[in-house]
Amino acid sequence: MATITLEDFLARVDEWREIFLKELDEILEGEEGFEADEDDTLWGQVPPVNSKAVVQLNPVVEEHLEIKLKPEQWIKPGGFNSIGEAVEAMLEAIKAELNVSAGE
């Protein structure tokens, strides 16, 4: 069970966003084919932020928030077009999980 409440999370969401953006950027650093330019994805091109990379954020979420997210809760098949898109999907999954926990 999470040690953070939904209200606490939302009050610090900008802080969490920065933490997770930095973590994912570090994960992707040096990955072959990764381009940080969000506007550079062409139709049919493989998204620069692949599923294998973003799933590595799950332990970071668990370490900071004590929440276990299942990859299928937030990781889009095929990956994401940007680091920001991946982190926003994860933040939404965290909010949903905390909302469910609050209702228990």
| pLDDT exceeds cutoff 80 at 4 | yes
Place of tokens 């409440």: 5
- Identify the pLDDT of residue 45: 56
Q: List the domain boundaries for the chain.
A: 6-31+47-103
Q: From CA 68, how far away is CA 34, in angstroms rounded?
A: 27
17-74 confidence digits (pLDDT tens): 999 999 999 988 866 544 544 444 444 555 678 888 889 999 999 998 998 898 888 9
Q: From CA 61, how far away is CA 79, in angstroms rounded?
A: 18
Q: Measured on CA atoms in the order 25, 39, 34, 71, is the torsion positive or negative?
A: positive
Provide the pLDDT confidence category of residue 100 given band limits of 50, 70 and 90.
confident
